[in-house]
Amino acid sequence: MEPLRIVRTDEPAGLALIGELDAARHAMLVRALESALAELPPDREFHLDLGGLDFIDLGGIALLGDAAWSRACGAPVVLDRTPPQMRAVLETVGWGTLPGLCFGDPA
């Protein structure tokens, strides 16, 4: 299993997730999300580049939804380079319409 790496991005502001996100790494993601979101004005989009993820469990997907929900009244959490399988799961469960969450750059 490849360890999860979380890299801060400036343009666009957010995080890039690389590797595998499972239950053992949830706390790491929560800390990174809380820190990055606390520093970002609520009117500025927060981008999550998911193109480097090889695996994400349902708990990890839920954490992304929690981040979006926390910004539902501000600028959205934008999921960039979302792997097709993950996007299909999000759309199937209706999270594609979750307030505060949107899909961004597919490339």
pLDDT tens for 20-49 read 999 999 999 999 999 999 999 989 999 999
The per-residue pLDDT for 22 is 95
pTM of the model: 0.91
Task: Identify the pLDDT of residue 50.
Answer: 96
What pLDDT score was predicted for residue 1?
A: 66
Range of the domain at 27: 5-103
Helices (H), the chain: 26-38, 58-70, 84-92
Nearest to 89 by CA among 51, 56, 47: 56
Q: Tokens in use for 55?
A: 């695996």
∠ Cα 81 87 89 (to 5°): 155
Q: How many domains does the chain have?
A: 1
Q: What are the tens digits of pLDDT across the range 45-67?
A: 999 999 999 999 989 999 998 99
CATH number of the domain residue 58 falls in: 3.30.750.24
